[in-house]
Amino acid sequence: MWYCPSRADHISAARLRWFGNSVRMEHGRTPDIARLSTVPEKSRPGGRPPQRWNSDVLQDLQQADLPTSMHEPYCRVAWLVEVQGVQDHTP
């Protein structure tokens, strides 16, 4: 049976691939600095809490049953196999 991944699966896999790339980057590069930085919270009107990229990645890792450790993506080949499994999972 032919399966076409949903857009959400495709976006999640792309986000996890980029996460792996940014973890493996040398320290001090702009994506590494952006990944590790935080935005100071301001008082804002009530409503939905802000959604951050790091929160999305953590949610993707949990949904795919991948370890949330920052050391896992250092093995590039194993990480890409795991991420491909996220995109190719069948419903």
Global pTM? 0.70
What does the pLDDT look like over 29-68, one tens digit per residue? Answer: 888 888 777 777 777 677 777 778 888 888 888 888 887 7
- How large is the average pLDDT for residues 13-42? 83
Q: What is the pLDDT of residue 4?
A: 67
- How large is the average pLDDT for residues 4-32? 84
Query: Residue 32 burial by CB count (10 A; 0-12/13-18/19+): exposed, middle or buried?
Result: middle
Locate 51 and state its tokens. Answer: 């959604």
Q: How confident is the model at residue 2 (pLDDT cuts 50, 70, 90)?
A: low
Q: How confident is the model at residue 89 (pLDDT cuts 50, 70, 90)?
A: low
Residue with tokens 């996890």: 16
Is the per-residue pLDDT at 21 higher than 80?
A: yes
